[in-house]
Amino acid sequence: MSQQEDDLRALAKIMDFLRATSIVLVIINIYWFCPELHPTNPDGFFTVVDKVLNGFDRSCHLFRSQYTSKWFALLLLALSCFGTRGVKNEDITWRTIWIFLGIGVVLYFMPKFHYTLYIMCSAAGFICLLMAGNWMSRLLKNNLMNDVFNNENESFQQETRKIKNEYSINLPTRFYYKKKWNDGWINVVNPFRATIVLGTPGSGKSYAVVNNFLKQQIEKGFALYCYDFKFADLSTIVYNHFLKNKDKYPKGAKFYVINFDDPRRSHRCNPIAPAFMTDIADAYESAYTIMLNLNKTWIQKQGDFFVESPIILLASIIWYLKLYKGGTYCTFPHAIEFLNRRYEDIFPILSSYPELENYLSPFMDAWQGGAADQLQGQIASAKIPLSRMISPQLYWVMSGNDFTLDINNPQAPKILCVGNNPDRQNIYGAALGLYNSRIVKLINKKGMLKSGVVIDELPTIYFKGLDNLIATARSNKVAVCLGFQDFSQLERDYGKPEAAVVMNTVGNIFSGQVVGSTAKTLSERFGKVLQKRQSISINRQDVSTSINTQMDSLIPPSKISGLSQGIFVGAVSDNFGERIDQKIFHAEIVVDSEKVKSEEKAYKQLPIVTNFIDENGDDVMESAIQTNYRAIKEQVKKIVAEEKMRIAADPELRHLLDLK
């Protein structure tokens, strides 16, 4: 420490010498060009000085011009300012410096009109330049104090290579580093390790990230499932991009859409098709998904009596419809209608099947024990939420068989979009959640085509098995991309344990502006880096500056909370042989807005699937949907009547009809 102090003292002496020399040069310049100030006595002191200066001028030409010596003095002054200790005034700004610098230059280089004016201008100009130089040196040396938001410390080198493979998602970026903007790339080289996209409304997560995931996966021939909360925003993009890239699918993929609002533009699909249910556990899983989507508060109460009872009852009905006549009537609308029959009709029929005996034992015990109130409560807890789903349009869509949900079947790859409606999300969300759960089970198998599952606004539906899908789908080439606004949404709707699994098992994360605990969690995930810190101490005698280093957050929560639209932070994962040294990014994702606008202008509407125009040219959509609705009701009535006759004709089962 003493050696450092000695060096500083030596440097200060050199700077003082240079400054003194510059002052001497200014005084000599005034002396030389203002002869009015001294007499011409040939034997006097001034004559000796003149002789010395004349000799110096002959060798150095220092006084051939009025400005030559002033330039030398100015150079020495500038050099001396590099070693200045600074000033005590912390309020000096660059504007003040430039004002003093400008005034100083004008006065200092003012031509001689009168010797008194010349002396005053030279002296005043030199003083202004000296002050400006000291202040400028202080601000330049204390440049860390100018970076009040710590942008320089928190900027870092990011990936500039485009690392591309047959599965990768590559997003062009611009990032700030070393006081300039640089071009870079975000390379999701392994999308099968799952991706989450966070951001408050308007942060640009769909426009900058989700849309790119959809487009690039279609370009690479992925089978695709897209949940479109604000139908048909994403579906229109998917459909039109698929039309441009049909050649990427060697087996001839097809586009399908599920939409309850507009049956004309919706295919029909039975999510509980009997061919894909191999065990009663599949029926239970379907019932579980439906009921928890209709009652999101039940997610936190799993295992409670009045939560499990309606789920088991609905599962029994679904499995019964699978068994009855080979599953001819095994659809979700038929299950709802069957549940809404009198329990005196339901339980004898269900109890007549040995496969359902254990499932129904709690209900049968309550019935046989005379606990009618308990039984009514169990049944009502199933009927009441499901009654919200009784809709002719929903019945129409969910009772058909236009396609199957094995979207990544190598022999018949599919692009499927399911559309929700923000105004009816509580009703549609349950039905769409059923599609989700069935698709997840069907696609997460060996030997299937590479596929993508893109769920935007995840909290609007309950996605059963989501944590298991993320954990196991990588080996089956299923790329999951989940978009939502905040971790707290996930905890609210999925519960803390499952939300924690989702957050901690994803390999790729994108985050726009988020606040609170989510910003803090992300900041901790990105880690810390060595940063410079500067402190300034001002007293009556001196100004001292100290610079030290310490570990601090690479991207602090405050930065994440204040991100502009289109700017994202995050981290990506890599592969063997495709190492990414700098996985963390803090950059603007570059989107060619003009190209996007031109594409949108050329977009075609989603195709009409069912025309509903009869031979007379009349629109018969309403009557066709109503006819289907009534047909399902009549079919269920017929099932109940036939089953009661079967039971009555069987001596071993006849006693079931006599239970009260």
Q: Identify which of 420, 485, 424, 423 has the alpha carbon closest to the alpha carbon of residue 459.
A: 485
Of 181-195, 259-273, 325-339, 486-500, least confident by mean pLDDT is 486-500
pLDDT in tens, 468-477: 888 888 889 9
Q: Identify which of 294, 333, 287 has the alpha carbon closest to the alpha carbon of residue 314.
A: 287
Q: Tell whether the model's pLDDT for residue 321 goes beyond 90.
A: yes
pLDDT at 301: 67
Most confident of 32-46, 525-539, 623-637: 623-637
Please state, for a pLDDT cut of 70, what percent of the chain lies above it: 85
**Using 50, 70 and 90 to split pLDDT, how confident is the model at 222?**
very high
Cα distances from 564 to residues 189, 450, 515, 559, 568, in angstroms, run 26, 34, 13, 10, 8
Q: What is the pTM assigned to this prediction? A: 0.77
Ordered by where they begin, the domains of the chain are 2-141 (no CATH), 148-267+411-426+447-610 (3.40.50.300), 270-401+619-660 (no CATH)
**Using 50, 70 and 90 to split pLDDT, how confident is the model at 145?**
low
Compare 438 and 211 and report the one with higher pLDDT. 211
Compare 304 and 141 and report the one with higher pLDDT. 304
Mean pLDDT of the chain: 83
Compare 158 and 67 and report the one with higher pLDDT. 158
**Using 50, 70 and 90 to split pLDDT, how confident is the model at 199?**
very high
Burial 39-60 (b: 16+ CB within 10 A, else e): eeeeeeeeeeebeeeeeeeeee
pLDDT at 312: 86
561 three-class SS:
helix
Q: Identify which of 364, 362, 332, 333 has the alpha carbon closest to the alpha carbon of residue 346.
A: 364
Alpha carbons within 13 angstroms on the beta-carbon side of residue 269 total 25
Token pair 């790329």 in the structure block, residue: 479
For CA atoms 170, 174, 175, 180, give the dihedral sign.
Answer: positive
pLDDT at 40: 59
- CA–CA separation, 336 vs 395, rounded Å? 10
End-to-end C-alpha distance for the chain, whole angstroms: 97
Contacts of 472 (CB under 8 A, 6+ apart): 444
Mean pLDDT calculated for residue range 187-201: 93
Of 62-71, 259-268, 408-417, 591-600, least confident by mean pLDDT is 62-71
Contacts of 444 (CB under 8 A, 6+ apart): 469, 472, 473, 476, 478
- Token reading at 7: 């060096």
pLDDT in tens, 560-610: 999 999 999 999 999 888 889 889 999 999 999 999 999 999 999 999 998
pLDDT at 210: 95
Side by side, which strands form the sheet with 169-177? 180-188, 169-177, 584-589, 567-571, 508-511, 195-198, 478-483, 451-456, 223-228, 414-419, 254-259
Mean pLDDT calculated for residue range 346-359: 84
**Using 50, 70 and 90 to split pLDDT, how confident is the model at 313?**
confident
